A and B are shown apart, each in its own frame.
Chain A
Amino acid sequence: MRLKSQLRFHARPLALAAAVAAALAGLLLALAPKPLPGGVALAAVPFYRLPFGPDDQGRDRPFWPSRLQAAGLPFVDPARLPSSADCAACHPREFEEWAGSLHAVADRDLVYEATVEANEDIVRNPEQTRFCEGCHAPSEMLAGRVTRFVAVPPADALTEGVACIGCHTATHADPEAGNGALTLAYGRAVADRDGPAGAALLADPRAHLAAYGAPDTTALMKGAEVCGACHTEIYDASNSRARGPQVVQSTFAEWRESWYGRNGITCQHCHMAADPAAQVLALRRGDLTPPARLSHRFIGANHVMADTRLGAALTVLRGGLLPGTDAAATGATLAVQGRQTADFLRTAAGLELRALRPTADGLHLEIAVRNLGAGHNLPTGVNDQKHIWLEVVVADAGGAVLFRSGGAAERLGVEDAEAVAWIEHFLDGAGERITNHLTFATAAVVWMRDPIPPRGEDVVAYEVPLAAGAARPLRLTARLYYRIALPDLVFANLRRDLPVAPFTLAELAAELPETLP
């Protein structure tokens, strides 16, 4: 009864307050800045060619054979597109991290550039390189510059590969389709240029949040799907000489089917951890705590593009200095990038002597190659280039080598056909192997040995012939090597005899017992 009377007493002011609150909310909603279209129509880009025709519904496909999409009008005015260097004014830490990453040089990396040119040379329409540029240069694509006659002038923002705006305006991703199946709302970034800046932005960040913190983007960036849109690559007749789908990169699917995918450990958890190696080691111990802070280094497996021992050659390989950086800042961030990459790679794999027994001719031994820390296959990615192989050496007590598999020749860059290697072969229409990543000439993709799934292993057996009287004890050493690219690729596409040093992922050394079981 008392409650009822109190309610009656407060009913009017409560109703008034509710009405005022509703009116204020409505006013705020009405005043809140809406993302402007900020786009450029297809017809407004002179001489932009569509050599691959419309889709099944008759719609233009300005970015085909990439699956990249624009939200709204297809193109943007590059002069109004913010460069990552602009973002650095308020986000210096993120910019400094990103500047050392592979994402930052995705469209500048000299090996990539030369490989695109080599592919372009074997097709009639240069627009076919949209397949590559959709992931490597989304800003060039959305500016309308990937075409035979380029009527759109260059701009800093277009030279940055996978830049801030490439992820922070993403509204949709299709990691099953891959091949760049991202939808980017660059219009939001353009519209934000008209919003407040500096202190005014801090006082009223709504426009900035509308541009880069929209709910669809925020939700997308928490998951692996946004990564999968580009880290899934499927060749078919639209982009190669394959008659049916040829899965070239399946990193997203490998992750999704794995223990990591089932436990909600996303790409970001490892590749964007502030200390990626420590994060992986924690996961290996069963600690699933996500990283407290996400870094923008996107630490991965390309140790060469962060190897500061290359000196000035590294700057050349990375396509020069990024807008907003200088040599000192670049060197400093690359030093961290290189160290983190090396540490990260060392968490991926392990070797274990699984079986050892005498045979009539010598020894039978089995070595388990274990995927201990990668949330996807080992190796993964572009595996006609990125590959691993096992080197096994048995020596006598004096150090004389009695048996070797996958030896020094491999380390020097000459492929050893006898080595146990995990590598894809690209084959042309005649079944001949292509070693320089000519996507547009590839008809089939074949794994020489199946890659090792997350938390899985591949046991490799060796029959080691031994002459009678070999000085005991015998010593076994095994090394799992990783190489980022075949020397053939560098030589054929870059016309450089540049050594591509292998990286030792894991090592095993054991003194074999005098008396074998």
Chain B
Amino acid sequence: MHRILLPALAGLLAGTLPLAAETESEGLAAIKAFTLEHNAALVTEAKRLRDLVGAYAATIAAHGNDYAAAWAAEGATLADGVRGIRAQWLVASNHYETIEGIVAGIPATARYDLILDAGNPGTEAEDVADYDLALPDGTVLERPGSLFHTITEPLFWGSDPGHAKLAADLDGDGQVGAGEMLFDANLALGATAGLVFWSEALMADMQAWEPNRDDAFTAVVTMTPTVGDYFGEWKESQFLGGAGAAFVAQSRLVDVLAIMGGCQRMYAAAVSPVVAAGDAALDAAITGAFADLLALVAETRDREVQGERFTAEEADALGAEAQDIAERVVAQVLQAAARHGVEIRG
């Protein structure tokens, strides 16, 4: 039963179920349409996030940018504002996660993944989020890292003490717990404006993208093997490691499901018709392995939602199992790519 239900659950969590296309061109077109649909939603939700942050910043500004005064005068409004911003951040972020496996895998759009979600602030030789962020007060942050995960996630959830302006009892329980604070409105305004700007820029480039076989194969083989890294981040997060672990706003398993769902979608729609035409058995094997991979992740997420707490040992074992499946998928896709003369542009 699990073999049937879990892939379906995985597909639903990833956006929609992966649909095999009749022809390669139909599949590529479907991928582009799917990505544009979620990209448009991302732009809409990023604008909503920017507007919520604007309201928060206006409240602070109304008190001369004195956070303590603003909290004293309009604490309930600000607490509601922070809650709303966090919820809206998750909505926007999840729209991006749904298409991340595609955006990051296509060479023409990969840089947007670094800027929006996955890049580092120059701390490593590769995968740097190469852009500057201008803030309303005129400050320009050079290569500040990704907008979702380096800047706004720790900013909104208070895990970056450098940008927490005032400890505040947001939940009204009489105590100031972890993450209860008012964050830097100036940085938040700049970062959310940046999210809107770069989401729209991605949209423009995605509209201009001409779907092709090389990109489809490249997306699958570059993004699928990242599953192990995401399991590693899950293991290091507070979802497993307790208070001392790295903070993430939602379980990394949600991201894994979305990203692997994107890879599965790309394969089913755009790559499978090519592979199946030359070797139906190989296509069936890859399709089955993708289903297994998504089922494993979905089942793990389901157990987590049910309240199960995993040990680091279990997380490692699950991550290794997922990585093993992913590597088998990629090896098979690359073998097919070689047969069809596909160029992989990582």
Contact = CB atoms under 8 A, between A and B. Distances in A.
B221 A149 contact: yes
Contacts of A122: 124-125
Contact of B331 (A124, A153, A315): A153
A312 interface: yes
B139 interface: no
Contacts, number: 58
B324 interface: yes
B344 A149 contact: yes
A316 B331 contact: no
A154 interface: yes
Contacts of A153: 327-328, 331-332
Interface residues of B, number: 26
Nearest to B235: A316
Nearest to B326: A154
A151 B331 contact: yes
A316 B124 contact: no
B226 to A, nearest CB: 13
B283 interface: no
Nearest to B317: A320
A44 to B, nearest CB: 10
A268 to B, nearest CB: 33
A495 B338 contact: no
A421 B313 CA distance: 35
Given A121-B124, A495-B236, A151 B317 contact: no
Contacts of B244: 497
B320 interface: yes
B312 interface: yes
A122 B127 CA distance: 10
Given A46-B334, A151-B331, A316-B316, A123 B125 contact: yes
B335 interface: yes
Contacts of B313: 312-313, 315-316, 320
Nearest to B320: A320
Contacts of B324: 154
A42 interface: no
A154 B125 contact: no
A491 interface: no
Nearest to A151: B334
B126 interface: yes
Interface residues of A, number: 21
Contacts of A259: none
B133 interface: no
B248 interface: no
Interface string A117-132: 0000111100000000
Interface in A150-201: 150-154
B331 A320 contact: no
A495 B125 contact: no
B346 A154 contact: no
Contacts of A320: 313, 316-317, 320
Interface in A468-517: 495, 497
Given A124-B126, A320-B316, A495-B246, A150 B236 contact: no
A151 B346 CA distance: 14
Contacts of A150: 225, 327, 330-331, 334
Contacts of B221: 149
A317 B314 CA distance: 13
Nearest to B332: A153
B334 A316 contact: no
A121 B125 contact: yes
A150 B312 CA distance: 27
A152 B126 contact: no
B223 interface: no
B259 to A, nearest CB: 18
Contacts of B125: 121-124
Contacts of B334: 46-47, 149-151
A46 B337 CA distance: 9
B266 to A, nearest CB: 16
B212 interface: no
A154 B327 contact: yes
Given A46-B338, A148-B346, 4 more contacts: A121-B124, A149-B334, A153-B328, A312-B311
5 contacts: A46-B338, A124-B126, A150-B334, A154-B324, A313-B313
